[in-house]
Structures are given as C-alpha cells and as structure tokens.
Amino acid sequence: MERRLRPIYDAIDAGNAKKAVQEADKVLKKHPVTVCAKVGKLFLTVLLDEMKSSVRSFKNQQLVAMRLFKEFNNSPYFFWGVMSIVMQARENPEMGAKMFYPLAARMVENHVTKYGYKAGAEIELHAMVLEGMNKFAEAEELLGAEESRSLLSTPPSFLMARRIALLLSAGKHETVIDRTVEGLKIE
C-alpha cells in the first residue's frame, strides 16, 4: 500500500496539491476502499479551497504587510501593503476613487518623505497610484525626474512612451509634441 500512496506523498512534499489530488483519484479508481487515499483527497480538496479563497484577500495582505513593515522596517513590506490597497481600489473602483487611492497616495508620499526611493518598483507603484487618481501629469513628472530615471530599469524608449501616454491622458498635447521630438533626438 505504501508504494501506491508514494506519488501522493511526493506531490504533497513538492507543494503541488492539484497533482496530489490527481494521484489520490488514481489510487481510488484502482482501490476504492483505501481509507488513506480518501482522507488525503478530502484534506487536499479542503486545502485547495482555502488557497483559492485566500489568494485575493487584499485586505489581509495589507494587514500582514504592514505588520511585517512595523516589525522589520523593510520598505518592500511597506510597498506590498500599498500595492494591496491599490488592488482593493481596482476591485472596487467607487471606493478606490473615494478612499483607497488617496490613502495609498498619502502613505507613499509620507514614506518617500522619510526614506526616499530605494528601488524603481517603488517609483512605478507611486506612478500607478497617481494614475489611479487621474493625476496623469504628476505621474509623468515623477517618471521624468532625474532620481526616478536613475532607479528605473525601464529602457529609455519605453519610459518615453509611457510618459507620452500619461501626457495624452492629461490632455497636454503640446507637451506631447515636445517630448516626442525630444525622444527622437535621443535615438
């Protein structure tokens, strides 16, 4: 019996619950009275359901991230919490406009004032928050700042295209023309 259950154990050890359920189904087809396989399949099915329900729990992600940030004072945890707020805003656009995006913007601005930017991803997230608040011109200014360009790993042509798209969204067509000419001179 141990030999028949080994693939189930191996899949569980590898962290592949779906594969473990498939292996349990194979064992149950050949030996329908195997109690160990039945219990394993039940356990794995419950585990998969819990994993699915916790994947999009952005509020819990935010809480965990903020606890980790307070404990270890590590910026990636803070920005994970901000990203969780952004995801809540995308899930619920009405509350996003009223509460989530302004909260995320305040949090990022306070953090940047204290610690500054340490990575390009932090700048990208700040720009994403500004875009969510329809502050396209501010997002473009942020991406165009010298400090931002030094931290961002985005190729200059892609960064220029993103900045132009933000300016178009802001309705600054004359600036778009100037930036386009500027971008052509760079290349």
- Other beta carbons less than 10 A from residue 61's beta carbon: 19
What CATH number is associated with residue 64?
Answer: 1.25.40
| Total-model pTM | 0.71
Domain end, chosen from 55, 70, 88, is at 55
pLDDT at 25: 85
CA end-to-end distance (rounded Å), the chain? 68
pLDDT at 77: 95
pLDDT at 70: 93
Query: Do 75 and 164 sit in the same domain of this protein?
Result: yes
d(CA 10, CA 36): 15
| 158 and 165 Cβ atoms separated by less than 8 Å | no
Task: Show the tokens assigned to 78.
Answer: 């803070």
List Cβ neighbours of 25 (8 Å cut-off, separation of 6 or more).
Answer: 41
**pLDDT by residue, tens only, the chain of 187 residues:** 677 778 887 887 887 878 888 888 888 888 888 787 777 777 777 777 766 666 678 998 999 999 999 999 999 999 999 999 999 999 999 999 999 999 999 999 999 999 999 999 999 999 999 999 999 999 999 999 999 989 999 998 899 899 999 999 999 999 999 888 877 876 5
- Helix or strand or coil: residue 62? helix
pLDDT at 97: 95
Query: Do 68 and 31 sit in the same domain of this protein?
Result: no
Query: Do 32 and 87 sit in the same domain of this protein?
Result: no
Which amino acid is present at 119? A
Q: How many domains does the chain have?
A: 2
Query: Do 129 and 162 sit in the same domain of this protein?
Result: yes
pLDDT at 48: 72
Q: Which domain holds residue 22?
A: 2-55
Query: Do 67 and 30 sit in the same domain of this protein?
Result: no
Which amino acid is present at 152? L
Query: Do 77 and 129 sit in the same domain of this protein?
Result: yes
Q: Which residue has the tokens 């931002």?
A: 148
